[in-house]
Structure 1
Amino acid sequence: MAEKRALNIVKMKKMKQEGNPITMITAYDYPSAKLAEEADIDIILVGDSLGNVVLGYDSTIPVTTDDIVYHTRSVARAAGNTFIVADLPFMTYHGSIDETLRTVRRIMQEGHAHAVKMEGGAEIALQVQSIVQAGVPVLGHIGLTPQSVNQIGGYRVQGKDEQDARRLMEDAKALERAGVFGIVLELVTEEVAEAISKAVSVPTIGIGAGRRVDGQVLVFHDVLKYDSDYREKRFVKTYADIGAEIRQGIAAYVNEVKTRQFPAQEHVFNAEDTVIAGLYGKVKEEAVK
């Protein structure tokens, strides 16, 4: 089997033109990224969703640049043949351009990402343009933007009326003009997501945005039901239930230790008889009684 080669932004645009769907999944550590690459995923996103599924926060807002750098570096060590995108954390690209570029530099140099993702539309176009001009690929993200969840009134589907649809279209075109290589559409009605996908030349990657986008992204923990208290989501399909398998496996381990079934004879290392005699002055059979 030939070694996998990482995508680049030119290949992604060609995939859109050819109707070849792009696959993306989140990953936050070495083993999950390694497994994702071995499964031939196109893009790994080190999302600030790590705040919810890894760090135990109620939202993505507490996630810091240090968090993103740390987790991106782990992913990069595992998935050297996969295109890696890292989220810019909350409020790290709404100040000065210099401050924004310092954050981007850390994620690229210390985290070894290939690109960054930014939530927002026309209001962040200037920052996007500056990052792209500095030589860093940017993935846009509109629709439901978790970093702005308090402002937009919760986790609501976007694009349900004409005014909202127009806003999303304008945001998508503003991001395209600013130089993004793709746009994530989150919780957007299928009709509006399709219209945006046709209107822009860059790939659109949906999550809860229906069937007529150029690719799909899901959270690692949703795909695999990797959670102790998993909540079903309408826009997610789970492909395995490793949470249940892990829980059952650990419970079986606890039971076998408690009942002294583990370790068994096959897990034991035995010393020579002369060692036992030297320690206890007895033969081995007597020492182990």
Structure 2
Amino acid sequence: MELITGILATAVLAGGVLALAALGEVLAERVGVVNLGVEGLMALGGLTGIATVAAVPSPALGFLAALGVGFAFGCVFAAATVWLRANQVLCGLALTLLGTGLAATLGRPYAGAPAAAAFERVVVPVLSDIPVLGRALFSQNLLVYLIYLVLPLALHGLLFKTRHGLNLRAVGENPAAADAAGIPVTAIRFWYVALGASLAGGAGAYLTLAFVPSWSEGVVSGRGWIAVALVIFSGFRPLTAAAAALLFGAITALGFVGQARGWPVAPAILSMLPYLGTIAFIILPVVAWRRLRTWLAAPAALGLPYHRDVR
């Protein structure tokens, strides 16, 4: 029982990083913009969180600062891809290279040192006493509850239960028709791409202030790319993205447990499990049945710049 509880607790904690980044990418891709700069945004957010708590020992302030940095770089990315209509893939890759390189350079003074402050566990009375699941699910830090319970439900309600959400999805499916209907395509794309980037920056701060409270070069370790893949696997839906992140968190937890218990598997293989899982779930739609491919269908205008004078 203790082993199962430990795996579940680690899965929830590890999956939170991917869930927050994936939810931000869902927002961007739902309005038709592919942001491949998630890895760089997470690196910048992680460094920002560490640097902020080093100056002011408040993890909440560090997380908010990371959200702000992510938003600022997201605005730059949105200006290039939405206003200037630059190639989204190239801009995303440039943002990843810029973010990881800048974080590695500026983060050298903080490398190897533990975070000056980190998010503490918040135990939910009664629920935390449930056998097996209680301690794993209801004895986590505050961000975990926000990421798994509040944010996915809020984004699901926004996208699928409101008129504004219908406008967002219309912008991602057919921006010309949305523009003709009076929907401000450029403004919606810009602000939601920036908001998605903000969540990616927050995911980096979650990584360095809650999951592994320290900073080192390469601490993001490909999680940004996994988050992008999760968006595809989840069918661009917030609730499914959060559930998929939890699944990948469980895969990560298995790798940790395997190394700790000395399973007869090479440590490199155990460390590769999340990435092998990513490849498997990307290949799955290719070999699966038609209904699954329909479920995973991307917004029709995803990755395409919108020219108002071209209909």
Structure 1 and Structure 2 fold alike (TM over 0.5): no
Structure with a larger share of its residues in helix: 2
Larger Cα-atom Rg: 1
Structure of greater relative contact order (alpha carbons < 8 Å, 6+ residues apart): 2
